[in-house]
Amino acid sequence: MATETVPTGAGCVLAAIDRSAYTESVCAHAAWAASRLGAPLEFLHLPDRRQPAAPSVDWSGSIGVDAQMELLRELAELDERRNAISQQQGEQLLAEAAALAQGRYGIAAATRQRHGSLTENLDALQPDVRLFVMGKRGEHADFDRGHLGGNLERVARAVQRPLLVAARAFQEIARFAIAYDGSPAARRAVEMVAASPLLRGLPGDVVTVGEARGEGGQDWARETLAARGFEIACHRLEGAREEALAAHVERAGIGLLVMGAWGHGRVRNLFVGSTTTEVLRACRIPVLLLR
């Protein structure tokens, strides 16, 4: 395992990267967020351990014991070489990510490689994380069918920190929108945006599809954000939530969509097929999921 360069102190922006088409965008979104937050930046890579399964063969009677032992030794050496190559490729990927952050935003990013599942690693690291960043799809996702990456679905269910889901390409964010329905999760999202430096100074929209429920209407959301200096416009849309939001962000030139993420319990486990999933699929811009 290569030497890790790990940031000191809590509250870093942690970006999970692989060799997917989203990697450069994830790096750029993470560097942008770290520069806005004034937070340390770290890139995490998990070497790909996917190997073709060895066939189960009964060699008895086919080759001698010595030949069988030699074959097993060669297979072990091949596996070791594959792991070493994967490790070296990961180090190169992390170095390129750090160079991008340094070149674009002047940020000296920390890097590390770890083993195990992405969800387990992010869960273990999140006490020292302020914001997670990852792409909508990883290197093994089915792009033709438009599916979200399996890692994204698992991570979004597991982590409790804000999660910035990067779009395919990075563009400097000049305007944001908050999907607002008056629910406790939506109110919390408004309060978090108001309190954070991430979007401060940028104009934004509060967008409601249908009627807002609960005590917090659009006026409350606008006033809460305006009290922190935000310039906010309110919009009420009709139609299917994911389609209406996707149309609005394209029409209004929105660069980032903010949503309250899933709750706990039974509803939280319905991520696949949920409205949140459909919004992530429909919108071609980054989405910030807040709890």
Q: Do 130 and 33 share a domain, yes or no?
A: yes
Of 91, 123, 89, 100, nearest in space to 41 by CA: 100
Q: Do 129 and 243 share a domain, yes or no?
A: no
Q: Do 40 and 182 share a domain, yes or no?
A: no
Which of 143, 166, 189 lies at the terminal end of a domain, its last residue? Answer: 166
User: What pLDDT score was predicted for residue 148?
Assistant: 52
Q: Do 99 and 144 share a domain, yes or no?
A: yes
Distant-in-sequence, close-in-space partners of 136: CB < 8 Å, separation ≥ 6: 22, 148, 149, 152, 165, 166, 167, 168, 280
Q: What domain count does the chain have? A: 2
**Side chain identity, residue 152:** L
Q: Do 103 and 218 share a domain, yes or no?
A: no
User: What pLDDT score was predicted for residue 1?
Assistant: 40
Which of 166, 191, 223 lies at the terminal end of a domain, its last residue? Answer: 166
The parent domain of residue 259 ranges over 176-290
Q: Do 98 and 203 share a domain, yes or no?
A: no
Predicted structure pTM score: 0.81
Q: Do 114 and 241 share a domain, yes or no?
A: no
User: What pLDDT score was predicted for residue 137?
Assistant: 66
Which of 137, 166, 195 lies at the terminal end of a domain, its last residue? Answer: 166
Count how many Cα atoms sit within 13 Å of the Cα of residue 31 in the half-sphere of its side chain.
25
Where would I find the beta strands (DSSP E) of the chain?
12-16, 41-45, 110-113, 129-135, 163-166, 176-179, 204-209, 232-237, 256-260, 287-290
Q: Where are the alpha helices (DSSP H) in 1-64?
A: 23-37
Residue 37 lies in a domain: yes
Tens of pLDDT along the chain (291 residues)? 444 444 433 599 999 999 889 999 999 999 999 999 999 999 999 987 554 444 445 545 556 667 778 778 777 777 777 766 777 888 999 999 999 999 999 999 999 999 888 999 999 999 999 999 999 864 444 444 444 556 787 888 888 899 999 999 999 999 999 999 888 888 999 999 999 999 999 999 999 988 777 666 899 999 999 999 999 999 999 988 889 999 999 999 999 999 987 543 333 333 334 667 788 888 899 999 997
Q: Do 152 and 180 share a domain, yes or no?
A: no
CATH number for 213: 3.40.50.620
Distance CA(138)–CA(23), nearest Å, equals 9
Q: Do 140 and 272 share a domain, yes or no?
A: no
Of 229, 224, 246, nearest in space to 237 by CA: 246
Q: Do 37 and 133 share a domain, yes or no?
A: yes
Distance CA(259)–CA(86), nearest Å, equals 36
Residue 251 lies in a domain: yes
